[in-house]
Amino acid sequence: MTAETLEMPGVRVSGALGLEAVHDAARRLLGSIVRTPVLESQTLNQMLGARVLIKAESLQSGGSFKFRGALNALLAQPERPREVVAYSSGNHAIGVAMACRLLEIPVTVVMPADAPSIKLAKVREAGGNVVFYRRDRDDRNAIAEQVRAACGGLLIPSFDDAQVIAGQGTVALELIETAQQQGLHLEQLFVPCGGGGLVAGSCIASVQAGPGCSVVAVEPQGFDRVGRAWRAEAPDRNASTCGSICDALLTAMPSRLLLGLPQFKRLQTSCVDDAGVARAVAFAHQELGLMLEPSGAIALAAVLKGNAKVRGKTIGVICSGANIDPHVHQRCIDGY
């Protein structure tokens, strides 16, 4: 299936949504992104009775996987845009601002007024102009479109774009390649899920692992729009986009490109509450030496809560982001 076959109003698509697109993205990004390490914890392996490979994408430039998708979307353009616009709760804003700084393109990002201060600071440090909105009353998509229309720039969505998804898929591709280099076959891949761009990219990249590798989309409890879409086979809007410490995962609707993937029917889903996510943040700090934001730790939280049937398996876990305000991190360490 190619992106061109999907007729979905309001969604900008480009290129093929397949494994070759992820490999193309990897070639484009080579030398511009960090090939983040894959870590293991013997403590975690023994706890679960499994071999757990942890992709420390929190160590990516900008502190999250979002830099990959943003830069790939820009590099894939036939012509360099005169200006770029994005909307984001934080990490996509950082990724787009950093990609635009690298390519010397002016950028405006639409961010929630309650965005974590560390994310706002990184956007501004990268030269991004910020327009604020209120999560509880404003339509960020509409605001971003107004800004784009005024400046005549390119809008880079956070997850409903084929080139963004292909860039995000390079995270899972690297993890799978590392496992294969060690003679291992991943049987499950746990992935943080907000809008679903990273999950979509991971589903596509999972083909690299061969048959039998399943993807588990992990969402905040009460905000499981992808899980509900999977069960109902139709998209379902979240009633609210605030109310969890996983600020980066609180989107209203899931990616329609994800829902259109052939792999979506084989997707598995899981939910974790805030307390479980906070424990994962603390575990990552104490056992792995990783600074994780709650949204970046949620896949690890799903494994730690013990409900996943992973004993005897080789599994992958993507830890996707590190942009957490110090006081929130300390709350997690102290027991939330």
The pLDDT value given to residue 12:
41
Q: Do domains 15-65+162-333 and 67-155 have the same CATH topology?
A: yes
- 99's CB contacts (< 8 A; 6+ apart) are 67, 70, 71, 73, 74
pLDDT of residue 233: 57
Residues of the chain with pLDDT under 50: 1-15
Whole-number pLDDT of residue 226:
87
Q: What pTM value is reported for the model?
A: 0.91
Looking at residue 23, what is its pLDDT? 98
- Is the sign of the CA dihedral 37, 158, 316, 52 positive or negative? positive
C-alpha triplet 298, 167, 319: angle, nearest 5°: 20
Query: Domain residues of the chain, as ranges?
Result: 15-65+162-333, 67-155
Contact 36, 136 (CB under 8 A): no
- Tell me the pLDDT tens digit for each residue of 97-116: 999 999 999 999 999 999 99
- CA dist 224 and 217 (Å) reads 9
Tell me phi and psi for residue 54, to 5 degrees: -105, 115
Sheet (strand 51-56) strand order: 38-39, 51-56, 314-319, 188-192, 214-220, 268-272
| pLDDT value of residue 40 | 97
233's CB contacts (< 8 A; 6+ apart) are: none
Which pLDDT does position 238 carry in this prediction?
A: 56
Q: Give the bridge partners for 85, in sequence order.
A: 108, 155
What one-character DSSP code corresponds to residue 308? S
Contact present, 205 and 176 (Cβ < 8 Å): yes
pLDDT of residue 211: 86
Q: What is the DSSP letter of 115?
A: -
Per-residue pLDDT of 148-195, as tens digits, reads 999 999 999 999 899 999 999 999 999 999 999 999 999 999 999 999
Q: What was the pLDDT predicted at 279?
A: 97
Select the CATH number that applies to the domain covering 67-155 from these four: 2.90.10.10, 3.40.50.970, 3.40.50.1100, 3.40.50.2000: 3.40.50.1100
Q: So what's the pLDDT on residue 253?
A: 77
pLDDT reported for residue 11: 39
List all residues 6 or more positions away from 37 whose beta carbon is below 8 Å from its beta carbon.
Answer: 56, 59
Amino acid present at 108: T
- What is the rounded distance in angstroms from the CA atom of residue 208 to the CA atom of residue 21? 12
**Residues 70, 76, 81, 86: what is their CA dihedral angle, to the nearest 10 degrees?**
-20
Max distance between CA atoms of the chain, in angstroms, equals: 56
CATH class entry, domain 15-65+162-333: alpha beta
